A and B are shown apart, each in its own frame.
Chain A
Amino acid sequence: MSAFLFGVALQWKLDLRNKGILLTYYIVPLVFFAFMSGIFSSINPAAKQTLIQSMTIFGVTMGAILGASAPLVELYGSEIKKAYKMGGIPLWVATVNNLISAFIHLYIMSLIIFFLAPIFFQASVPAELGVYFVSLAIFILASLGVGTVLGLFVKSASRLTLVAQFVFLPSIMLAGIMFPSELLPKAFTAASVVFPATWGFKQMTSSNLDLQFLLPLFVMIFISGVVIAIRLKRIGLE
């Protein structure tokens, strides 16, 4: 247990030292929050009702899809995995450490938005705080599941940048955080159901834990978990 906790704490520190990770976990989401919150709330004052949720969805999606996948490519796409294997560290450890570390970073980033949005942009605070924070945790996990799958399947950093954008951009455009999803063409609305951001936004703007929004997130977490386990087993056998 001590080794595992040391590994999690170490991954947390490595993430803080990694400029690319800092950009995707904190800097870009918070800069986007600062600029877009001002724009959103001045164009449409009603946007203040869901400002915290929409900015959080953007930040978490960016961090999980573009950020959390990168250390995995560095680790599993290189000879580092051999060093881990020969050094007695199970291959799944790096994935779980990365997931826990990313979860904490993204939760902190979300808390920053949660506390600053009402002060600077008069954003509405979610009515049910317990529901909001539980929903946030589930959404972060689902997003990290997708990011982890990307990190384990894509073998080079340059390819990951491309592939991750193909997941990140539609997630943001179709989730309903930029404009109401009812305005989207039906095909786009149908396509949006595969992204955690769509269900995360609906759940985080809901005042109760709604199974119709939570179920897709749980399914995504489950599928990601199975795919990750199979992939790690295959990497171990390669």
Chain B
Amino acid sequence: MGMAIRVENLIKSYGQNTVIKEISFEVAKGEAFALLGANGAGKTTTLECIEGLRRYESGKISLEGSIGVQLQSSSLQANMKAIEAFTLFSKWNRTNVDLKLFSSLGLKGLKNKQYAEMSMGQKRRLHLAIALIGSPDIIFLDEPTAGLDVEGRVALHEHIRRLKAEGKTIMMASHDMAEVESLCDRIAILKDGKIAFSGGPKELTSVMGTKCQIYVKTSEFLEHDRLEQGYYIFQSSNIADTLYKVLENCKKTQNIVLDVKIERATLEQRFMDIAREGK
């Protein structure tokens, strides 16, 4: 499968501050790829460099195919109606006004609603509809569900899945782990302008797969890694070994074990670990 997006040694600075430090990655055609990272990690900057909205100091960005962009912070004139915005952008893209697309995003009933009167979810759907005008090959989504209620998130996720099923390449920036885990094939975690991890969501958790958290509640004090809600927590990459040692220690000291829980690391925990590393 060919590559839809290729980023090589991208460097972007704001004045003296280098925010993107020579990152490289590729996104295959038809793939859903997510850039993860804490606020300020450089996700939006990277996306905007790829979209052509920002200039960058050095590096090479190649895109194969037409692009559609749903920006995180874009907006429209307050008194512009949804259908007017959709028509305006359709005409400038020299395509027919695709009312089927407009309706498929649940905008039919909102066509005469002015932008300022729309909810955050409605605005996001309108911006997605505008991004999809002309059926682009590559779709960029920057924090697509930020600020949405549960219903809005579910509806938008369904639409993103449909786009993926149609073979579109999707690149998104997000800090919602559940969203990324359910929608994306591959992720890259940005930390301080560098890629700290790149791979599939399962790969990310499997790196941590052996590293689990063992929660033990006892009647007496126990040496531990962390304490949380009355549970002594042990980080371990060998469950049997750690658990055996903890229980043997309890037996020796006649410390009564009240409860034991074992949790496999979630994507979110792994992300937090990577984000914390080096701090």
Complex interface: chain A residues within 8 A of B74 (CB):
79-80, 82-83, 86
Known: A83-B71, A86-B51, A86-B53. A75 touches B89 (CB 8 A): no
Task: Say yes or no: is B226 at the interface (Cβ < 8 Å to chain A).
Answer: no
Known: A7-B88, A80-B74, A80-B76. A87 touches B130 (CB 8 A): yes
Known: A6-B91, A10-B88, A88-B92. A83 touches B130 (CB 8 A): yes
Beta-carbon contact of B92 and A78 below 8 Å: no
Q: Which 5 A-B pairs have the closest CB atoms?
A: A3-B91, A83-B74, A86-B69, A17-B79, A87-B89
Beta-carbon contact of A80 and B92 below 8 Å: no
How far, in whole Å, are A209 and B80 apart by their CA atoms in the complex? Answer: 40
Beta-carbon contact of A74 and B77 below 8 Å: yes
**A-B interface pairs (CB < 8 A), number:** 64
Binding site for A on B (CB under 8 A): 51, 53, 55, 69, 71, 73-80, 84, 87-89, 91-94, 114, 127, 130-131, 133
Beta-carbon contact of B79 and A14 below 8 Å: yes
Residue tally, chain A, CB below 8 Å to B: 24
| Nearest residue, chain B, Cβ from A16 | B79
Taking the closest CB of chain B, its distance from the CB of A148, in whole angstroms, is: 17
Complex interface: chain B residues within 8 A of A17 (CB):
79, 114
How far, in whole Å, are A29 and B87 apart by their CA atoms in the complex? Answer: 33
How far, in whole Å, are A100 and B130 apart by their CA atoms in the complex? Answer: 25
Beta-carbon contact of A80 and B89 below 8 Å: no
| Nearest residue, chain B, Cβ from A81 | B74
Known: A14-B80, A17-B79. A82 touches B91 (CB 8 A): no
Complex interface: chain B residues within 8 A of A13 (CB):
84
Q: Which residue in B71, B84, B127, B131 is a CB contact (below 8 Å) of A10?
A: B84
Complex interface: chain A residues within 8 A of B69 (CB):
86
Known: A14-B77, A78-B75, A80-B75. A85 touches B53 (CB 8 A): yes
Task: Say yes or no: is A18 at the interface (Cβ < 8 Å to chain B).
Answer: yes
Task: Say yes or no: is A89 at the interface (Cβ < 8 Å to chain B).
Answer: yes
- Please name 15 pairs of A and B residues whose Cβ atoms are closer than 8 Å in the assembled complex, sorted by A: A6-B87, A7-B92, A10-B80, A10-B84, A71-B77, A74-B77, A75-B77, A80-B75, A82-B53, A83-B74, A86-B53, A86-B74, A87-B89, A87-B130, A89-B88
